[in-house]
Structure 1
């Protein structure tokens, strides 16, 4: 043992402590005009621009929906009202346009409503039905014909029919209720007949090996089914029904035209004629248009339109296929029509 080891301060030399790690120096602030400053500013500007644009579009769509709602409500309120308000003596106009059927502009519901309003207006000197229709439902046409004759007797006002392009079948069924019928020389008038159309798919089903399964309670419940063979019994029954409706149509024409009608073997055959020949055969009275009748016949040159107008909801429904769907169903099932 070395005696020097016991002396104070004579122990072994301590090892030096490790140096503290140097802290990283902060990143230098980009000097003014550094490229990063421009990027940040541009980002901020673009962000604010997008937010403003988003607010503007949100506001635009809110006003757009509000406007559509306003138009929709306005259409509901003004539906089926006359386009003009009567102010004095005038000619009352009612348009008969397109197919005569339920849920169309020429439905009995629409036309009868307009007829009642026109007849009850003291300023209406007479009523003019301006017709441009190929026909349609015998039921709808019959309702309108009956109502015209009832209102004429009740209010002692005359009704005139004015043909534009076409006044055929069911449209002519309505026209014969008028006191006089005016037409253009080239208009199409007549087609006094009844039809029932449809399709039969039996042959096509046999060709493709498709089996039809139809269950009915009632011997004749499946009559006119387009996917089943047609029996002679059902064919005869359907033809008898069409013949009966045809007789009803003929009676209405004879009652309406009276002695003016010059009947020939073709009169009730379903043929149609131009306006000039229609006058010769007594199917119409004279050549003339709406303005002529109002000015020269009724002597009330001001014309007020009483035709009901479809509202926005009805137009949208048709535009999205309601009418197309109904037409497809009618084509498959078969529908009796005067056209």
Structure 2
């Protein structure tokens, strides 16, 4: 009877080694597959997130907060509302495969995220192509955006004569912005001083600037990118029709003072009538003032008002008409009181 052939010790060690290597290879494949599968989740989460930013559909934008580590906040909720009203949003061109985040990520608060990965987003906005490294991490088994895809605008303040201006994006007045040069301007990585700066998702927003009902800029556009703040577009504040009416009323009120006891102090035409060219007009005589002729014309350039018109007065030869021109600084002591003419300088026209 034959006996089983004995396996030599060397062969046994070789066989065990092969089996171990095979098991290690299987484990590596499983690990790579598991990690790849997990990273696929990050890719899908990144795709959903940027698609929401690109769509700007109001009811869906509430999901942006749910996909962000740390959840929502009043600032982010308002950012979503502003995004819904933006004039132009991003067009996503491509998302690169996820890779381990190769940079330190400044996580908001005390958030603890696992497996931080980076997905490079390539998108187009306002005719230019951009990229953004979107960082995600796992929180309670779900992939979350570690830092929102947010930027801001470096608003310039103060405005005119130290009065605070009103910034509008679309129809929304922004309350979160610095009111002085001491305010924090940067929303670095989507973060910033709470209550100081309104974060904004990347988009093109309609923008204008106002000071009450008195001065307003033409509406223009501001393009916001994530990360460092975008520069505020240069705009010119111009006087509104309400300002021109207020200044005309102020000049009329000053003219009405010419026929009273305050004529010397308040009447802007007093000195014109007291000159030899006035034909013997006497602003100290009773009844010398006969009133303005029609409405004065007023224009405003910057904060300088220029006006012209005519008035009637009594001279030795009878009733006469004098045309005048003048200018004054526009005084804005408060938004409620409205603009007035500060120390008008008047001269005879022609």
Please give the range of the TM-score, normalised by the shorter of the 2 chains.
under 0.3
Q: Which has the higher strand share?
A: 2
Q: TM-score, length-normalised on structure 2? A: 0.23
Q: Which has the larger radius of gyration?
A: 1
Q: TM-score, normalised by structure 1?
A: 0.24
Structure 1 or 2: more helix by fraction? 1
Structure with the bigger RCO (C-alpha within 8 Å, sep 6+) is 1
